[in-house]
Structure 1
Amino acid sequence: MRERIEAANAQAVGRITSADPVLIDIAPAGEVIPGLVGRMILHSGPPVGWSRMCGAQRGACIGMVLFEGWAKNPAEAEQLLASGAITLEPNHHHQAVGPMAGTITRSLPVFVVKDTASGSRACCRQVEGRQQFGDYSDEALDGLRRWRDVWAPSLRQGIQQKGGVTLRPIIAKALQMGDELHNRPVAATTLFADVMALAMVEAGVSKNNLLATLAHLTYNEFFFLGLSMASAKAFCDAAAGIAYSTVVTAMARNGTEFGIRVSGLGDEWYTAPAPRIDGLYLTGYSADDAGLDMGDSAITETVGWGGFVLGGAPGILSLIGGTSEQAMQISRDMGEITVATHPTYRIPALGFVGAPVGIDIVKVMRSGIVPVIDTAIAHKDPGYPKIGAGMVRAPSECFEKALQAYARRYGLS
């Protein structure tokens, strides 16, 4: 049995480490996300209905109803959602992911990333600091409209001009420049902007749209997170469904529950209550205002980025708290619960060791070490933008439930 598990895990990790992500398009979600039809909102985390949704995710759903024009005002939008007239389903069930509330509807342009090694594709919405946190104000929705009408179409022209943008070199270089590709994708965003500036000029993007889009890339340091998330989702989907594998292929949260999926256990979710976040708050907010952990962005940690390479991203500590010594130790600890290290994505601060890859539910339970995720913080109530950022540890209960299910499926005692 041990040999079967080790072989299956090696296969799963091999698919992650050999992945070669390419941004092939930015397109309206209804055109590229399988099964996204009609009045449907995709959301982050495991499945959750309106009655159990956290405040921030409810606010984000209200925002998307207004964005699509399905309701004239927030009260009408809330009535529609409460009545069940709007279908709510997880991003992960549709080859997609989304940051924070993760809300995606058919008109919202999304990144489309293809892993050319496996053929797996995944989509992710754009990253911003208002609507995805539950803010449904006119200002928040104006940001979505500018993305739909100006920024996304301009970038799409550049992508088509280049025939796709290879992301693996950007990711590798950004990690060596102090990014961790979750809460600090600053270098990756800059490198991506460098590529896209010339591409948009060559594609003939109008001057006004070109300048507006370049300004967006300049001032949105989190832009590349949408690309790292789509890439990671494509990697993990390629690694899913391998019999006997104990490697985690998804970690996701919706502000109510935290859930994981495991390669050898198919599409089943193993859940626990979403944890509280230990973090720093923007002026005017405190821990009393905070909702619980939320978002699909932990897919970055699932492939060995984010909290797993925290030791190589000391600049992030001003955002989430902690010391450089703690960050280094966290990266070392994550090595204790993973199957391998990445041959290309390396951490200079740790002697150029590869990023820890392949979270193993057996190693998690044997060691007592759980994955560390760096994350943003949303308000507990609807209607607010981002209020802070910090770190959170995955609930051990998810891994315990998964290991018990694994034992039942494969006949282990």
Structure 2
Amino acid sequence: MSLGNLLSGPPSIVAAGVDVFSEALRAQGAEVSDVDWRPPGFGDPADLAALALDARRAAANRTAVERLLAAGSVLVDVRPAREVIGLEDRTLLHSGPPLTWETASGPMRGALVGACLFEGWADDVEEAEILLASGAITLDPCHHHRTVGPMAGVTSPSMWMWCLEDPVGGGRAYCNLNEGLGKVLRMGAFNEEVQARLRWMRDVLGPILSKAVRGSIDAGNDPIDVKGILAQMLQMGDEGHNRNRAGSLMALRELSPSIVAVDAASSGHSADDIAAVLRFIGGNEHFFLNLGMPTAKLATDAARDVPGSSMVTVLSRNGTEFGIQTAGTGDRWFTAPANTPVGLFLGDYGPDDANPDIGDSAIMEAYGVGGFAMAAAPAIVRFVGGTVPDALATTERMYQLTLTENPAMAIPIMGFRGSPTGIDVLKVARTGWLPQINTGMAGRIAGTGQVGAGLVQPPQECFEQALAALAEAARTA
């Protein structure tokens, strides 16, 4: 039919959606063909309605958002885990929701074995495995101790921790020190190379960083503004999760004067030790990640325990399960089997070598950076796969899942628009879209180490469970 004849005959009407439109047209004598189309969301309609109509939700989400945006993050100390979080002997923290030795994946088992060897609880791998299988070692999630850990996230009593504080709300959050890339404990490797590095971090890196950080503050200097560094990173090509080049260099810039000022003689360390610390930080492009993660943890923790809020406060994985928590449901975990990332591989590794998703580092996405801020770091696609338009489109899509924009985390290419922040369970369910996460990939066999990096999403089931729990809370409020 030509455009000229378009209106020469009766109109053909196709209607999708609410019946009232079709009924109104038929009342006027029109013929209507109905299409049973629904938005690609998920969840029980009754649960969606209960949460959407919860009279508390708007105010509760506003409160949660305000707390999250207001939270700051400054570096106040570096101390061993046994001191700052009271981590007891024969206790190990791990990433993600709770697990057991029996349910632990390959890289998680490798990291747990490596930590036992590092602490001297076992003399060899076989003895460590027997010890862990017997239940003699207590395993507990990092998140249960205001702590986060990348990948396996295994933290033992002797490991040194970054200690960050929220100057607004007074909260504290912690994270161990980053080992670098390749064969590292957090990726499930535990050989002598890994052990030697961990011992050096315990005996040299941690103590020198501690003296540098505390010495600077004792001298009257302001603590390092870690949130400020994170904000600057997004304007320098980082997204704060899988790309931390600018952030790590800025951290080195802030720490270097205090590190150099450490008195080698009185500290029990040599000038060579101090030089080695500077070289290690300068050569570790992910050094800042372990500062960024507790910064995000401080913000999302500030938004906890707001009845009626549907905002996500935790995204986390242990290599077996993915778990989320929300502001309206406190410490309750909603879990499902973790997906396996898709991306680019190192060397001869391929998809069959990758373990399912693992790590607390998705706290960065819960805060609104990382995969949510891919538009700020288009070069990230060279590391995780995809294209530059994919990176831009991902950030645009994440705005549809979130409650606000974080003005402190501005994205230059988007006109300095604030990053999409505050994942809303209701919006995720209504759109059917899932949060995007940038992540590293650990080898599925214990001891392998890193095999690549890529993109992954949480399992839908986590959000279905959270939706049901929030809806039930709304009904009984």
- Give the shorter-chain TM-score range: over 0.9
Q: 2:214 aligns with which of 148, 157, 160?
A: 160
Counterpart of 2:160 in structure 1 is: 109
CA distance in 2, matches of 1:305, 1:273: 24
- Partner-residue secondary structure (3-state), 1:389: strand
Q: How many Å apart are 1:3 and its aligned residue?
A: 5.1
Paired residue for 1:233, among 297, 305, 329?
297
- Correspondence for 1:380 among 435, 439, 444: 444
Q: Distance in 2 between matches of 1:145 and 1:277?
A: 31
SS in 2 for 1:203: coil
Determine if the alignment matches structure 1 residue 56 to structure 2 residue 92: no
Q: What CA distance in whole angstroms lies between the structure 2 residues aligned with 1:145 and 1:165?
A: 26
SS across alignment from 2:157: coil
Identity fraction in percent: 44
Does residue 169 (structure 1) correspond to residue 212 (structure 2)? The answer is: no
Equivalent residue letter for 1:147: M
Distance in 1, Cα, partners of 2:178 & 2:212? 19
Q: For residues 204 and 356 of structure 1, what CA distance do their matches in structure 2 show?
A: 44
Q: Give the equivalent residue in structure 2 for 1:126.
A: 177
The SS at the match of 1:223 is coil
What CA distance in whole angstroms lies between the structure 1 residues aligned with 2:70 and 2:326? 19
Q: Which residue of 2 aligns with 1:143?
A: 197
Deviation of residue 126 (structure 1)?
1.9
Q: Distance in 2 between matches of 1:171 and 1:134?
A: 27
CA distance in 2, matches of 1:63, 1:157: 27
The amino acid across from 1:131 in the alignment is: L
Which secondary structure state, in structure 1, belongs to the residue aligned with residue 450 of structure 2? Answer: coil
Find the residue that maps to 1:111 and give its secondary structure. strand
Cα distance between partner residues in 2 of 1:397 and 1:92: 21
| Aligned-partner Cα distance in 1 for 2:66–2:195 | 41
SS across alignment from 1:411:
helix
Structure 1 unaligned spans of 5+: none
**TM-score when normalising by structure 2:** 0.85
Aligned to 1:196: 255
Deviation at 1:221, TM superposition (A): 0.3
User: How many angstroms does 1:204 deviate by?
Assistant: 2.7
Deviation for aligned residue 1:7: 1.3
> For the aligned residues, what is the CA RMSD?
1.3
In the alignment, structure 1 residue 70 sits paired with structure 2 residue 121: yes
Task: Kindly state the Cα deviation for residue 412 of structure 1 after the two structures are TM-superposed.
Answer: 7.6
82, 86, 95: which one aligns with 1:30: 82
For residues 219-257 of structure 1, give each alpha carbon's deviation from its aligned partner in whole angstroms, at most 9, with x where no partner exists. Answer: 100000000011111111111101111000001001110
Q: Which amino acid aligns with 2:374?
A: L
User: 2:400 is matched with which residue?
Assistant: 336
Work out which of the two has the higher radius of gyration on C-alpha atoms and give 1 or 2: 2
Give distance in 2, aligned partners of 1:28 and 1:53.
25
Indicate the residue corresponding to 1:20 in structure 2. 72
| Matches for 1:239-254 after TM superposition, within 5 Å | 239-254=303-318
Residue in structure 1 matching 2:335, options 271, 279, 294 = 271
Q: Which runs of 4+ in 1 moved over 4 A?
A: none
Q: Secondary structure at the match of 1:102?
A: coil
What secondary structure, in the 3-state scheme, does the structure 2 residue paired with 1:285 have? coil
2:59 is matched with 7
Among 333, 348, 367, the residue aligned to 1:303: 367
In structure 2, distance between residues paired with 1:215 and 1:368: 46
**Structure 2 residue 98 is the aligned partner of structure 1 residue 39:** no
Greater shift in the superposed pair: 194-203 or 81-90: 194-203
Amino acid in the other structure paired with 1:178: G
Q: Which whole-Å deviations, capped at 9, do the CAs of 1:43-68 have from their partners, x for residues lacking one? A: 00000100010010000000000000
In structure 1, distance between residues paired with 2:123 and 2:472: 50
Query: What are the superposed Cα offsets for residues 244-287 of structure 1, whole Å, 9 maximum, x if unpaired?
Result: 11000001001110000000011100011100110111002111
Distance 1:374 1:303 in 2: 13
Check the 8 A contact 2:379/2:388 in 1, yes or no.
no
The whole-number CA distance in structure 1 between the counterparts of 2:245 and 2:54 is: 41
**Does the CA contact (< 8 Å) of 2:107 and 2:188 recur in 1?**
yes
With structure 1 as the length reference, what TM-score do the two structures score? 0.98
Structure 2 CA distance for aligned equivalents of residues 188 and 68 of structure 1: 31
Give the conservation status (yes or no) of the 8 Å contact 2:72–2:298: no
Measured in 1, the distance between the counterparts of 2:110 and 2:228 equals 37
Q: Matched residues in 2 for 1:296 and 1:110: separation?
A: 15
Structure 1 equivalent of residue 16 of structure 2: none
Shift of 1:141: 1.3
Partner of 2:315: helix, strand, or coil? Answer: strand
Matched, 1:180 2:239: yes
- Between the two proteins, the alignment pairs up a number of residues equal to 412
Q: Does the CA-based 8 Å contact 2:381-2:388 persist in structure 1?
A: yes
For 1:349-388, list aligned pairs within 5 A.
Answer: 349-388=413-452
Which amino acid counterpart does residue 118 of structure 1 have in structure 2? Answer: G
For residues 90 and 370 of structure 1, the distance between their equivalents in structure 2, rounded to whole angstroms, comes to 24
Question: How far apart are 1:89 and its partner, in Å?
Answer: 0.7
The alpha carbon displacement at 1:2 in A equals 5.0
Looking at structure 2, the residues matched to 94 and 200 of structure 1 have their Cα atoms a distance apart, in angstroms, of: 28
- Structure 1 range deviating more: 41-50 or 151-160: 151-160
Check whether the contact 2:248–2:288 (CA below 8 A) recurs between aligned residues.
Answer: yes
Residue 91 (1) aligns with residue 150 (2): no
Gaps of 5+ in 2: 1-52, 218-222, 265-269
Q: Look up the SS of the partner of 1:50 in the other structure.
A: coil
